[in-house]
Chains A and B, each alone.
Chain A
Amino acid sequence: MSAQFLQFLLAGLTVGAIYALVALGFSIIYNASQVINFAQGEFVMIGGMTTVSLTAIGWPLPFAIAAAVLAAAAVGLALEKFAVEPARGASVVTLIIITIGASILLRGVATLVWDKNIHPLKAFSGDAPIQIGGATLVPQSLWVMGITLVIVLLLTWFFGRTLLGKALLATSHNRLAAQLVGINVRHVLLASFGLSAALGAVAGILVAPITFTSWDVGVMLGLKGFAAAILGGMGSGPGAVLGGLLLGIIESMGAGYISSAYKDAIAFVVILAVLFFLPSGLLGKRSTDRV
């Protein structure tokens, strides 16, 4: 394996891990409500920006991170409570437009609370690059990959072992049946938005030291997260992770070996090609219609 290839691979995995976290957020909300939450990217922005401003006023990093994740989760809960729940029974497209409105609103609020500048965040543990097999890696990349791995393990435990996690899964399989066995579907919906927002915020905080953060950072990351979730199969947890990592690697390899101007185009061409052959993504459920 050449050093150059390894370099591209590591860069791809780093950005792919971020996409995976955003994609997981999409999938969780989709499972609970069938809604594609286009405000998902704004949670990424809220996480990064809140951490930046709290560390700027002297908060220690761990506290700032915790507060930022909680802030994003609170916004997520509010979004469900005040925007999605009142529109219960509306068509999915209407709900999607509501989340698009929410994302514009949140970006607008961000320009008021903060500003339109780009803000750096200090790396968690220094900037001294690490040499691995001829490739260089910033320590923040290890944080990104490590924390993503921990979160994936935590989510596996959450969905497999806890009551709330199982309630979420049950609701995603069959909402009515879940309600009949006594699951409070409304709480599940609320929880899914809170959890997705927290995941988005973590992604935003992790990536901020590498790419910096700003009021509109969520737009592109949200789009990529959506693409990753679709590539893996919307609603599938492992699919979201796989889709995110693959998307990151495709982008990085495309930029490195083919053309950096066309890296996003290359990624979308690959996604389209995959969808031609697997119309419900890599690990998505094959859906059947009832007439």
Chain B
Amino acid sequence: MPARPDLRRSSGLAALALVVLLLPLALQNNYHYEVAILVGLNAIVCVGLNLLIGYAGQISLGHAGFFGLGAYGSAILTVRYGWPPVGAMLATTAGVALVAWVIGRPILRMRGHYLAMATLGMGIIISIVIATEDRLTGGPDGMSVPPLALFGLALAGERLWYWMVGGVLLVAVWLALNLVDSPHGRALRALHGSEIGAEVAGIDSASHKVRVFVISAVYAAVAGSLTAHYAGFVTPSKVTFFHSIELVTMVVFGGMASTFGAVVGAALLTTLPQALTVFKEYEMVMFGAVMMLTMIFMPKGLVPTLAARFASRRPSP
């Protein structure tokens, strides 16, 4: 551990801000912006999920469910009940936090694969409800969502969304970095190492686990709400089990317990399928192969592996 975690933290955040600031130089058309926005939205979910998986060591195979609740909450409140988008987003996020708290308390008593199963089941139940209650959600066809509006002013256009999502991502990363270095973050790492050990040291592991579960659900819900307004449309396809798996894969791929790793993982795994479309029918084979090879040769994920390699080249002070 470096001596100045606060320095390391702010330099990382500054680097990310620089990337967000300079990236538009490389973005040539609306499609590029679209991909970049998608990366940002996925990254927000992954930063939150990484707090749960990477730091607290609790797996979730159901976070697409929270993403979906966020998206559909915004969609239903604005379309069916005529709420203003921002109010709907706040209410939805609060609602998802409550749902996560209620579900989290009993579920987080389980461990390892049983927790994986329970979260997976939770995600699937949410996705089935969304796909079946078609009077409210439009069923498998989905429903359209009005654009985000502030004081009656509609926010639309790829460029505007890019800065908005970039801003939210930076705030999300900043909050996550602060949380990791707070007493709560240290408690999470302690219970990751050993729950019993942490409890012996006076940490209420149950309440810490529930808290980080709720936080990660809020991250997913915010990204879900934003996605719904950005796309102008929601379908159940982003609420499926596969999307949950995709999110976990991004976190592990980038590097667990590394907030920037989560961002990098989201960026790579969001852009990779776009880049692989040139391989046409070989796309899926290539995607699977890249995933396997990366994890075989960099089992700790991209960012921690590369960081360790970089650090070992420098003479240690």
Q: Which residue of A lies closest to B119 (CB)?
A: A272
Query: Is the Cβ of A226 less than 8 Å from the Cβ of B117?
Result: yes
Query: Is the Cβ of B122 less than 8 Å from the Cβ of A98?
Result: no
| Chain A positions 264-291 with a Cβ under 8 Å from a chain B Cβ | 264-265, 268-269, 271-272, 275-276, 279-281, 287, 289, 291
Query: Is the Cβ of B117 less than 8 Å from the Cβ of A100?
Result: no
Q: Which residues of B contact A90 (CB under 8 A)?
A: 295-296, 299
| Chain B positions 13-72 with a Cβ under 8 Å from a chain A Cβ | 53, 59
Choose from A109, A112, A226, A272 the contact partner of B122 (Cβ within 8 Å). A272
Q: Which residue of A lies closest to B123 (CB)?
A: A268
Query: Is the Cβ of B291 less than 8 Å from the Cβ of A223?
Result: no
Q: With A101-B295, A108-B282 in contact, do A261 and B288 touch (Cβ < 8 Å)?
A: no
Report the tally of A-B residue pairs with Cβ distances under 8 A: 131
Residue B182, interface by CB 8 Å: no
Residue B109, interface by CB 8 Å: yes
Q: Which residue of A lies closest to B107 (CB)?
A: A272
Query: Is the Cβ of A234 less than 8 Å from the Cβ of B114?
Result: yes
Query: Is the Cβ of A94 less than 8 Å from the Cβ of B252?
Result: yes
A111 CA to B59 CA, complexed, in Å = 31
A13 CA to B178 CA, complexed, in Å = 53
What sequence of 0s and 1s flags, for each residue 182-208 of chain B, a beta carbon within 8 Å of any chain A beta carbon?
000000000000111100100000000
A71 CA to B116 CA, complexed, in Å = 30
Query: Is the Cβ of B117 less than 8 Å from the Cβ of A275?
Result: yes
Q: Which residues of B contact A281 (CB under 8 A)?
A: 114
Q: Which residue of B lies closest to A26 (CB)?
A: B113
Query: Is the Cβ of B295 less than 8 Å from the Cβ of A97?
Result: yes
Mostly, the A contact residues are helix
Residue A167, interface by CB 8 Å: no
Separation in Å of the A185 CB from the closest CB of chain B?
A: 19
Q: Which residues of A contact B292 (CB under 8 A)?
A: 83, 98, 101-102, 105
A272 CA to B118 CA, complexed, in Å = 6
Mostly, the B contact residues are helix
Separation in Å of the A27 CB from the closest CB of chain B?
A: 11
Q: Which residue of A lies closest to B288 (CB)?
A: A105
* Total residues of chain A contacting the partner, CB 8 A: 47
Choose from A104, A226, A271 the contact partner of B288 (Cβ within 8 Å). A104
Query: Is the Cβ of A291 less than 8 Å from the Cβ of B118?
Result: no
Q: Which residue of B lies closest to A38 (CB)?
A: B245
Query: Is the Cβ of B113 less than 8 Å from the Cβ of A230?
Result: yes
Separation in Å of the A263 CB from the closest CB of chain B?
A: 9
| Chain A positions 1-33 with a Cβ under 8 Å from a chain B Cβ | 30
Residue A58, interface by CB 8 Å: no
Residue A124, interface by CB 8 Å: no
A261 CA to B195 CA, complexed, in Å = 40
Separation in Å of the A39 CB from the closest CB of chain B?
A: 10
Separation in Å of the A79 CB from the closest CB of chain B?
A: 10
Separation in Å of the B82 CB from the closest CB of chain A?
A: 28
Q: Which residue of A38, A87, A103, A265 has the most chain B CB atoms within 10 A of its CB atom? A: A265
| Chain B positions 274-317 with a Cβ under 8 Å from a chain A Cβ | 281-292, 295-296, 299-301
**Contacts A98-B291, A262-B132 given; 7 further ones with Cβ under 8 A?**
A89-B299, A90-B299, A93-B59, A104-B284, A104-B287, A108-B287, A111-B284
12 contacts across the A-B interface (CB closer than 8 A): A83-B292, A87-B296, A98-B291, A98-B292, A101-B290, A105-B289, A219-B242, A226-B120, A230-B113, A261-B132, A272-B125, A275-B114
Closest 5 CB pairs of A and B: A105-B288, A108-B284, A101-B291, A90-B299, A104-B288
B contact residues vs A (CB 8 Å cutoff):
53, 59, 106-107, 109-111, 113-114, 116-118, 120-122, 124-125, 128-129, 132, 194-197, 200, 241-242, 245, 248-249, 252-253, 256, 281-292, 295-296, 299-301
